[in-house]
Chains A and B, each alone.
Chain A
């Protein structure tokens, strides 16, 4: 597994239909909105959570693909329990040399956990050892146009407590509220630094897994709140060198989303067909290769 040795930037488009891609805990879980522009936001950590979940699902128990920052419902855990029930021991891990220092521990953590390799981790409470920066940097995703979140009131035909039932004389209904974005196309930008890949051992194979996660992660993240979310475009710029051959912003600006031909300027976008994502391939500087992954 060769360690990533090229600088890479990527542009990633995904959309949501009648769902809430990322609730804002400050706003009663309404979709995140930039108050100045009314554009929708999806935080970096929200996207990283989905990448972790996808990798856990895709790689299962495979050595080297553990996930350090977990959600509770992970199928892996079930597999592990089976291990324990059968009285089988953990697969033996390589024992490091005696007198190993914090560096060896950090290395071991990187080798064991995909998310530490990709995103880095703060590895001890001691300031001086074991903090590792990962190569993958993702920014907040922002919607291409302003969004208009809709509150949707819903009724539940049951109540939780007897007291509630008595109060309603057996009518037993409660109202709830969901917040949805009817439709929005979001754009996220990402950066991969070979400098940090070197520090965590993030390999070309890991990169391919990261692409796979970005392309497929929404298909494994269905829930009542999210509606339909789909990855739409993923274009990566691979520099010939570790330092890079062009400014990041110039590459990212080559990919743009605009209104599709024939769409009335007043009509709000409701499907991906209302947009057209263009990539100005002619504007590519020398020494950078575009990889159109989706």
Chain B
């Protein structure tokens, strides 16, 4: 385990889909650890490291809004793409009028979070990978606004902006977030090495802070 980092992320909209409401998407109340990990990976990630989310600070009152959009229902079938690539069949495409569904999404408005995280070294780390180097790289990128791709808040149309946390910033808590709020079972992360098994945890928001328990993947030994 290495020393941790903090990153502030914010945006106009966010959608952290609850797996039980995927047809008509409904967001969790707050950023999930798995989405937080995705944000950090957009900023800095190498095979040598694995981000671990320790704590999520919710910085603005939780507000929802509904958006209904026309979406396509289907996915591109692999077989027809392969046949077209071989020249056996004409090119595949989707006609939106034939394959349309209107789906509502319950999204979050005006969000800001501070993610506290650290990383573990993985067994894919090479001799040149030392924790200090990766920590420094991640810090520098947060400071300079550099990223491999612009992170997003759950889905890609909801862009996340990010930056460092100002000193003393976490000392204030919006009144609306004071007290204890039971968020129920929340997705922790997916265990990719164990057949994409989702793991859940009991999320409780205390004065706007969500403590994230350690994630113990079954697919590989915990480090």
* Chain A residues with a Cβ under 8 A of chain B: 7, 9, 24-26, 32, 34-36, 41, 43-45, 49, 66-72, 90, 92-93, 95-96, 100, 102, 104-106, 108-109, 112-113, 121-127, 129-130, 133, 135, 137-140, 142, 189, 191, 193, 195-196, 241-250
Interface residues on B, range: 35 or more
CA distance A108 to B144 in the complex (A): 36
Q: Could you tell me if B145 and A108 are in contact, using CB atoms closer than 8 angstroms? A: no
Q: Report how many A-B pairs have Cβ atoms within 8 Å.
A: 155
A–B complex contacts, Cβ < 8 Å, 9 sampled: A24-B68, A41-B67, A66-B93, A71-B95, A112-B84, A123-B76, A123-B78, A124-B81, A191-B159
Which residues on the A side are within 8 Å of B149 (C-beta)? 133, 135, 137, 191, 193, 195-196
CA distance A36 to B77 in the complex (A): 40
* Additional pairs, 11, CB under 8 Å, beyond known A72-B95, A122-B76, A247-B145: A25-B70, A26-B66, A26-B68, A34-B65, A71-B97, A72-B97, A93-B87, A137-B149, A137-B156, A142-B12, A242-B148
Which residues on the A side are within 8 Å of B66 (C-beta)? 26
Known contacts A69-B96, A70-B95, A100-B85; decide if A195 and B145 are in contact (CB<8 Å). no
* Chain B residues with a Cβ under 8 A of chain A: 12-13, 63, 65-72, 75-78, 81-82, 84-87, 90-98, 102, 104, 109, 141, 144-150, 152, 156-159, 161-163, 196
CB distance from B165 to the nearest CB of A (A): 14
Q: Could you tell me if A109 and B159 are in contact, using CB atoms closer than 8 angstroms? A: no
Q: Could you tell me if A124 and B78 are in contact, using CB atoms closer than 8 angstroms? A: yes
Q: Which of B12, B70, B78, B104 contacts A105 (CB 8 A)?
A: B78
* 4 closest cross-chain pairs (CB), A and B: A247-B145, A193-B149, A124-B78, A44-B157
CA distance A250 to B144 in the complex (A): 10
Q: Could you tell me if B12 and A140 are in contact, using CB atoms closer than 8 angstroms? A: yes
Q: Could you tell me if B78 and A36 are in contact, using CB atoms closer than 8 angstroms? A: no
Q: Could you tell me if A127 and B196 are in contact, using CB atoms closer than 8 angstroms? A: yes
CB distance from A102 to the nearest CB of B (A): 7
